[in-house]
């Protein structure tokens, strides 16, 4: 429960959250998007083309997919900067308080989660590839791929970090202190996380049942956060997930349309494979992490009441 309680270390009134969310969207959707708007306007032949397609379809304007990916990542980076600025100046809290209860960020947790999920992602893809080779086309273009690899490894974690700091850190703590219950915070942040992915092309192609994946993944990452008292594991997991998605396989209907190694040409559908993460992989990862980090007191951490702690000083409080 200590992770959620860290919201009490600074300004925790509703207006502080409202101003910070406004600041986040200002940085993300106005400041951060300016380079993308500029490039889209440069590539568009007329204003009509620019207004209708420039910001959501790089192929229509002939923008290089790596450039488009980099510009999209920059919007999230700008959002992250403005979010942290709001936490620091409006809430008057230390940045680390929305990341972990530990005295410093435990990067070993980040890399452990990254490695575990990357191995699972790679293994499941290649198993599927060897079982259904006709569903994929090898798409290796050396120069474009290595540029994509550099962008993905160095900068994609900025995109996933913005989402994790916002949902599993900032909003998890905010909703937890407002509703005084950790599970309510977990549920609300997972649903909002899923709904914000509702505009992804996968949803249009496969239907709203895909929201099960986004909400379920948000729920998983929230469990990591509550049980581990920090977002390091969710940061690593999310980064691995998106890097694998960008670098390994792409399709004409996916959110990440990149110069990946493989092109998925199979007609998308909802089958047993879609539910496999929820049935097998997610429970397995929870089990591995729980054993690795000795998670205990599950009921209290996932369903417990959030109480305002007794603050002793800036860095010490009684839960």
Q: What would the DSSP string read from start to end of 228-276?
A: HTBSHHHHHHHHHHHHHHHHTEE-TTSS-----SEEE-SPP---HHHHH
Tell me what pLDDT residue 313 has. 58
Tell me what pLDDT residue 269 has. 77
Longest CA span, the chain: 63
Which helix (H) or strand (E) element contains residue 209? none
Q: What is the pLDDT of residues 7-21, one digit of tens each?
A: 998 999 999 999 999
Cβ atoms of 244 and 149 within 8 Å: the answer is no
Question: Can you spell out the DSSP letters for 274-289?
Answer: HHHIIIIIHHHHHHHH
Tell me what pLDDT residue 120 has. 97
Tell me what pLDDT residue 6 has. 94
Summarize the chain as % helix, strand, coil (round to 5): 70, 5, 25
Nearest to 198 by CA among 184, 185, 215, 186: 215
The crossing angle, in degrees rounded to 10, of helices 65-89 and 14-25 is: 150
Tell me what pLDDT residue 312 has. 47
Q: What is the pLDDT of residues 183-229, one digit of tens each?
A: 999 999 999 999 988 877 777 777 788 889 999 999 999 999 999 99
pLDDT surpasses 90 at 246: yes
pLDDT surpasses 60 at 49: no
Residue 55 dihedral angles phi and psi, to the nearest 5°: -90, -10
| CA–CA dist 260, 153 (Å, integer) | 13
The model's pTM is 0.92
Across the chain, what does the average pLDDT equal?
A: 89
- The percent of residues in the chain predicted with pLDDT above 70, rounded, is 90
Tell me what pLDDT residue 317 has. 57
Cβ atoms of 185 and 168 within 8 Å: the answer is no
Both tokens of 11, joined, read: 């300004």
User: Which of 57-66, 137-146, 195-204, 232-241 is predicted least confidently?
Assistant: 57-66
Tell me what pLDDT residue 314 has. 54
Both tokens of 225, joined, read: 């956060």
Instruction: Work out the burial of residue 97: count CB atoms within 10 Å of its CB; fewer than 13 is exposed, 13-18 middle, 19 or more buried.
Output: buried
Q: What is the pLDDT of residues 271-297, one digit of tens each?
A: 778 888 999 999 999 999 999 999 999
């Amino acid at each position: 429960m200590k992770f959620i309680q860290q919201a009490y270390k600074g300004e925790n009134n509703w207006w502080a959250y409202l101003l910070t969310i406004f600041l986040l969207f200002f940085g993300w959707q106005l400041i951060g998007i300016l380079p993308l708007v500029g490039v889209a306007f440069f590539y568009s032949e007329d204003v009509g083309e620019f207004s209708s397609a420039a910001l959501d379809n790089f192929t229509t304007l002939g923008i290089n997919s790596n450039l488009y990916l980099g510009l999209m990542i920059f919007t999230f980076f700008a959002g992250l900067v403005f979010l942290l600025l709001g936490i620091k100046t409006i809430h008057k809290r230390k940045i680390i308080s929305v990341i972990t209860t530990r005295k410093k960020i435990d990067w070993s947790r980040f890399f452990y989660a990254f490695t575990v999920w990357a191995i699972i992602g790679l293994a499941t893809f290649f198993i599927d590839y060897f079982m259904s080779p006709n569903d994929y086309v090898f798409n290796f273009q050396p120069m474009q791929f290595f540029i994509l690899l550099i962008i993905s490894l160095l900068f994609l974690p900025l995109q996933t970090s913005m989402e994790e700091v916002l949902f599993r850190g900032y909003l998890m703590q905010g909703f937890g202190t407002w509703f005084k219950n950790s599970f309510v915070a977990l549920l609300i942040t997972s649903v909002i996380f899923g709904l914000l992915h509702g505009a992804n092309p996968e949803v249009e192609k496969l239907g709203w049942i895909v929201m099960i994946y986004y909400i379920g993944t948000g729920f998983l990452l929230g469990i990591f956060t509550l049980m581990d008292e920090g977002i390091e594991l969710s940061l690593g997991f999310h980064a691995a997930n998106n890097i694998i998605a960008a670098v390994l396989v792409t399709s004409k209907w996916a959110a990440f349309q990149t110069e990946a190694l493989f092109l998925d040409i199979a007609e998308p559908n909802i089958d047993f494979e879609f539910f496999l993460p929820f049935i097998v992989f997610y429970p397995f990862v929870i089990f591995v992490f729980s054993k690795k980090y000795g998670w205990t007191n599950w009921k209290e951490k996932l369903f417990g009441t959030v109480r305002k702690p007794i603050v002793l000083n800036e860095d010490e409080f009684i839960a």
